[in-house]
Structure formats: structure tokens, C-alpha cells
Structure 1
């Protein structure tokens, strides 16, 4: 199996000699947060977390993310939390990109390594601890769960993307494929988290325009991405937010695969 790569923020602070010009963009339809902006001075600390800091990539905000928040967490050895979530009715998804951790959900412990994914339903107690001797980094996506009468909450899920066969998109000969953590037919889920992979030269061959809001974190490679009316270059470590109905497309630049972690809201009526 091909070894997969997972870019993580390196922290630190740019030298005073570095040019100020960067690729950060924030518009009404989309945002691009380049990896170079994720320095030490933009991290946040959260209640009941030990030896941990967080890069906040997206949060519900007027003119920005409406349905989710997304962090990259860095937890030092011995660190973690016995009370990670402080709000009611919030579901969580974790995706490990560096190191290893122990996740305990409803009293059951799970050892997670790079590529590990966990879904935690709302109201489910969980704890997290770095039991190793190096830092662990992971994405933490949070969403207020949209309950529907007659539908149960989704179950706890702990898997690894390396054990899931990517599903090729139709008529792409495998050049464009999706690793799906949630079953698309399971309407208990109100969000999908996937890893999307483009082989060098593969494309989204039309301007996708749809109701789902997106958060995209580039795990590996580079591409030219269409966002609304603009074409922007993105690389491993960049984060993109796309408002609902923002047109999107891309060309994968090579020389290796272009891969990103994708969030979207699904399976619910439009609130009126």
C-alpha cells in the first residue's frame, strides 16, 4: 500500500526578514488560510485541556462558517482532557495526522494513530490522552447535531482511513476518489467527513455548485483550486472554507497525489 502523507502545522514564528506578502484570502464566498499563517501566536487554549493548544481553522460566524467549527489540536506527552466538550448537543469527529493517542468513548479505550478517524455522537462522554513520548496532532470537527424525530443518533465509530478502500468517482479511471468514513445512505448522519484524493493531472471537470458548506484541509500535494470566480494555488497545510453554493473546481498539480480532508453538512431539510 502506498504510504500516505499528512501535513501538520509546524508552529514557530517567521523571521523578521520574511516578506509580508502571503496567500491568505477572506471573501464573502470563501476563505483560504495558508499553512504559513499557522504560527505560535495564533493558537488558542481551551478549558479542561492539559498541555494542549489549538489552531482554529473555522468557527460559526456571520459571513463565515455557519454549520461547524474545526481545530487542529497539538497535545504534548501526558496531555489531553477528561472533559473535552463543554457544550450540550455537540457531535465530534477526530482525524489523527501525527503521532498517536488514546481515545476513550463511553468507557471503551481506542488506540489511534495517523489516519485514524473517530465519530462521537452528541451526549456521549469521551476523554483523550497522549500516552506517547512525542506530540500528537489531530483535527477536531464540532457540529451542533440536528436531531430528527424518528431517527436515532449515529453510533460511535473508530476506524483508520488506511483500512478503507477509496471509492472512484464515475468515469475518472480512479484519478478522483473518495475515502468515506460515513455511509452516504445512513440518514442518521447530518455531516460527512471524507478524504478526497486526486492523482496528478486529475480534475473536477465542472464548477460544482451545491447547498453543502465545505471545509477543506489539504493533507498532501498541491493544486490550482477554483473558488467562486478565482483560481488560487493551494498546497499541503492550507485550509479552505467554501460557503454554500460557492462554485468550486480544481486541477491537481502533481507530482504526487493531491489529498484533502473534507467536511460537508448533509441529509437535513433547509431551516426556514
Structure 2
């Protein structure tokens, strides 16, 4: 998945370090119900590296961890020209979504090359939950500019979702979508439901309700929401507020906690 590189509107971190004169005050928060990782924390000092990846660094913004994300991990990958990997995924049970925000990336799948746009991209990973009687979903190579957003009912176009897969296709156990609010658009009630959420703000700014708190967020910020964490938002403008959304879907609830 990716955006049209002629648009170039999506925020991607570039690293670096803040000056020694900068105040420590920031919006970073880590709670039992939610986490906010603001764009100002994406510095050189918090990057990571992976085996078998050349000329590549990444920011890990979510990982399965006690008191944090449970069902997925999410990276922001930065690959230099000529870099990459021929052993990208080492977990045979993992499924993944790549969302390109900048540069040029080529993905080779079953000896077929697919050209995507840009050298910074999100990599969302999840252990696939296979179900007997359901086939594995086929790989998809899509561009969000070619997909008509689904307008939410009774919103007069102020709130829409770009869906990359059919929500009724139960082969998929996660959805990664783009949610768009026009200036002044809202989630006018506290959503409280079973899906775990990861939200990376692609464009714009908003005030987002997380559990009992209203938090200001802008392009480049990441939010993690635990299942059942109440959420709502108000898009502040002047432009659209858009975020890349992960959620786990379409599976029975596990009745035994992992130990």
C-alpha cells in the first residue's frame, strides 16, 4: 500500500537530535490504557537495526509487551539507496502490511517485483491466526489514491475510511485503513470496543480523547489504544486530519491468557 509520491503529504520522521537548548517538555505519555509517542521523540538515539537488513534503520513504535500492544508490532523503516534485505521477515507465522510514505521501494514476492513509492515506510506485523476452513488471503499491492473512501453514515462526508480489504472477508484477521476527517469533523461519542488500535497521524492535527484525557496530536504522532479504551476526536483544521489505523478483527476471543 502507498500514496502517490506526487502528493507528498504524509509525514515521515528524519531523525536527528534536538538542540541542547530545547526544553524537555513534550506530549509523550505511557499509561495502562493508551500511549502517545509524539513526532519529536523520533530522534537518532531511539533507532534500531535488524539482522540481514543493509543500510536500514527503524523506529519501533509498537511491540507485544506486557501493559502495551498485545497483537501487533509496528515499525517505521528508513532504507537508504541500495539498502534493503533478501531475508526481510524471519517469522514464518507473520503477516505484514507495508505502507509507503516517501521514496522508492521494490518488493519481491514469489520472484515477482513490485515497485512501491518511497524509502520510508510503515511495517505492521502480526502473527496470523489461521482458521480451519478459511483460505489464507492473497497478497495485495494497492494505492490509496485508487480506492474510494467509505463515508461514515450520518456524517455528511466529514468522516470517511479508506479500506484496503473487504471488511466482510473473514480471511483477514487485521485491518489497516486510512481514516480521514474534514476540518471540524468529529467522532461524536466515546468509542469503546474490543479491537486494539494503533494510530499514526499522516496529516493534520486534532484533539483526541484517550480514556479520560483529551490529547493534542499532529502529523507524525503515534497513538496506541488498548482494547476497550474509550476514544473520540475533534479535527482542528485548517486541513484534513488523517491517520493510518491498525486493528485486530474477525477472530474468537482467546479464553486463556498467555503466560
Normalised by the size of structure 1, how large is the TM-score? 0.91
Equivalent residue, structure 1, for 2:18:
14
* Partner SS state of residue 110, structure 1: strand
Of 136, 141, 145 in structure 2, the residue corresponding to residue 158 of structure 1 is 141
- With 188-197 and 4-13 compared, the bigger mean Cα shift is at 4-13
> RMSD between aligned alpha carbons?
1.2
Equivalent residue, structure 2, for 1:60:
64
CA–CA distance in structure 2, aligned partners of residues 203 and 231 of structure 1:
13
Of 174, 183, 198 in structure 1, the residue corresponding to residue 166 of structure 2 is 183
Of 21, 27, 43 in structure 1, the residue corresponding to residue 31 of structure 2 is 27
Deviation at 1:10, TM superposition (A): 1.8
Does the 8 A contact of 2:8 with 2:102 survive in 1?
no
Aligned length: 251
Deviations 1:82-136 (A, max 9, x none): 001111200010000001111111111111116xxxxxxxxxxxxxxxxxxxxx1
Equivalent residue, structure 2, for 1:241:
224
Of 209, 212, 236 in structure 1, the residue corresponding to residue 192 of structure 2 is 209
CA–CA distance in structure 2, aligned partners of residues 182 and 69 of structure 1:
20
CA–CA distance in structure 2, aligned partners of residues 269 and 104 of structure 1:
33
CA–CA distance in structure 1, aligned partners of residues 209 and 72 of structure 2:
22
Change (3 A) 1:249 1:4: farther
Deviation at 1:258, TM superposition (A): 0.2
Normalised by the size of structure 2, how large is the TM-score? 0.95
Give 5+ residue unaligned stretches, structure 1.
115-135
* Partner SS state of residue 41, structure 1: helix
Give 5+ residue unaligned stretches, structure 2.
none
Equivalent residue, structure 2, for 1:199:
182
Instruction: Confirm whether residue 168 of structure 1 aligns to residue 168 of structure 2.
Output: no
